[in-house]
Amino acid sequence: MSSTSKKRPKPKPDSSSSSVSWVIEPPQSLFPSKRELLNLVAVLAIASSIAVTCNYFSNLFNPTQNPFCDSNIIDSPDSLTDVCEPCPSNGECYQGKLECLHGYRKHGRLCLEDGDINETAKQLAEWVENVLCKAYAQLLCGGTGAIWVQEDDIWNDLDGHELMENFRSDNATYLYTKKRTMETVARFLESRMNSYGVKEVKCPDLLADQYKPFSCRLHQWVFRHALIIVPVCALLVVCSLLLWKFHRRRYLLIRVEELYHQVCEILEEIALMSREVNGECEPWVVASRLRDHLLLPKERKDPVLWKKVEELIQEDSRVDQYPKLLKGESKVVWEWQVEGSLSSSSMRKKEDSIKLKSTEGKDIKFDQQKRMWKAEPKALVF
């Protein structure tokens, strides 16, 4: 009984049976938990968003650039846009690399003009314009020179200009600068082919007119409008002469009348004074001396003025003129023949002259400041 009542030990499972049971029913620790699965999804989402963002900004700031297509490619550029980028203008491409032509500089993936070369070419073109147009303007103004100049001569003259010294180290740039200068010059100069097949240029006529001196332009303008200027100038001269004659005539009329009245007043006063001094004062006046007394120095050079006065005196019946021998020389004298005064002004002058103290041995002189005659010693003035 005792032997049968004891428990038998359980048999150990072999390896083959355990592996089969593991495949049929895997352990629970093999799969992640729900919490771990959510964490894994969150990490993957964050990593994906970071990768997408980095790729976007990388393409934005550093876009992927295709190589340049070769310049000598024959196929249509449209069919190669996904493989390579067309070579830009003013550049040469080989094996995906870009090389800009002379006169252009690489700026990113483009070839832009070289500012130094353009500025130098512009200054050289202005120098050529100045030389050619001045020479042509001198020829148009009657000088000597040639109108048409060969382009080869201009090309050679550029070598001696000081601006070209900056490019002598680079022969390709040096030649390109000269070529660019000639292209700029050809834009404003007239060109032609001579009988020998050589290209020649000249300054346009309108541009050459701006280089003419002022005296030359004035002379040519007068010559072109001579048919209008000559009649106009003649008309102006005639009008000026007529105006001058009118002014001269008016001046003579006024001045002659003024002198005539002065002569009459003087003759009347002398006649009255001669009576007051009992004939000791001569009643006549020498005409030439009276002329020199009344006329201004510049008026004495005008023979017409006093001649008009003499004509009025001759027509006046109150004045008598006759020759008289003075110091062995014959003089024409004038004498007042009518008693009384001519006007109220002459009456006042006569009263003033009467108030003068007339004594023996005193002569009559004309006071320039008071415009009246006064008695002074010595000989009679007139």
Please indicate whether residue 260 or residue 177 has the higher confidence score (pLDDT): 260
Structure tokens given for 144:
């000597």
Task: Based on the fold, state whether residues 284 and 355 are members of the same structural domain.
Answer: yes
Considering the domain architecture, whether residues 84 and 182 belong to the same structural domain is answered as no
Distance separating alpha carbons of residues 361 and 378, to the nearest angstrom: 6
Calculate mean pLDDT across residues 287-311. 89
Contact between 105 and 112 under an 8 Å Cβ cutoff? The reply is: yes
Please tell me the predicted confidence (pLDDT) of residue 245: 92
What is the spatial distance between Cα 150 and Cα 320, in angstroms, rounded to a whole number?
Answer: 94
Mean per-residue pLDDT of the chain: 75
- The pLDDT of residue 62 is 52
Residue 158, pLDDT above cutoff 60:
yes
- End of a domain among 217, 235, 270? 217
Give pLDDT, residue 371.
Answer: 40
Whether residue 98 has pLDDT greater than 70 = yes
Q: How many CB atoms lie within 10 A of CB 117?
A: 20
Percentage of the residues of the chain whose pLDDT score is greater than 70: 69
Question: Which residue range(s) make up the domain with 277?
Answer: 255-377
The answer to the question of residue 47 being in a domain is no
- Any domain includes 226: no
Residue 142 in tokens: 């009657």
| CA–CA distance, 344 with 366 (Å, rounded to integer) | 20
pLDDT digit string, tens, across residues 20-60? 454 555 555 656 677 777 777 788 888 888 877 776 665 55
The Cα–Cα gap between 45 and 109 comes to: 38
pLDDT of residue 56: 65
- 105 and 152 in one domain? no
* Residues 74 and 176 occupy one common structural domain: no
- Look at residue 107 in the predicted model and tell me its pLDDT: 60
Average pLDDT over residues 328-346: 69
pTM above the 0.75 mark?
A: no
The pLDDT, as a whole number, for residue 254 is: 92
Of 30 and 198, the structure prediction assigns the larger pLDDT to 198
Count: domains in the chain: 3
Last residue of a domain, one of 202, 217, 232: 217
Range of weakest confidence among 20-34, 133-147, 219-233, 360-374 = 360-374
Which of these ranges, 32-36, 162-166, 283-287, 301-305, has the smallest mean pLDDT? 32-36
pLDDT at 13 over 90: no
Alpha helices in 150-225 (DSSP H): 151-157, 171-185, 205-209, 214-224
pLDDT score of 217 more than 70: yes
- 91 and 185 assigned to the same domain: no
Residues 348 and 324 in one domain: yes
Residue with tokens 């964050």: 46
- 351 belongs to a structural domain: yes
Rounded distance between C-alpha atoms, residue 65 and residue 15, angstroms: 62
User: At residue 238, does pLDDT exceed 90?
Assistant: yes
| Lowest-confidence region among 164-173, 336-345, 358-367 | 358-367
> Is 14 among the domain residues?
no
pLDDT at 261 over 80: yes
The predicted model gives 71-98 an average pLDDT of 67
Residue 338 counted as domain residue: yes
Paired with 111 in beta bridges are: 106
Summarize pLDDT for 117-137 with one digit per residue, the tens: 778 888 888 888 888 888 888
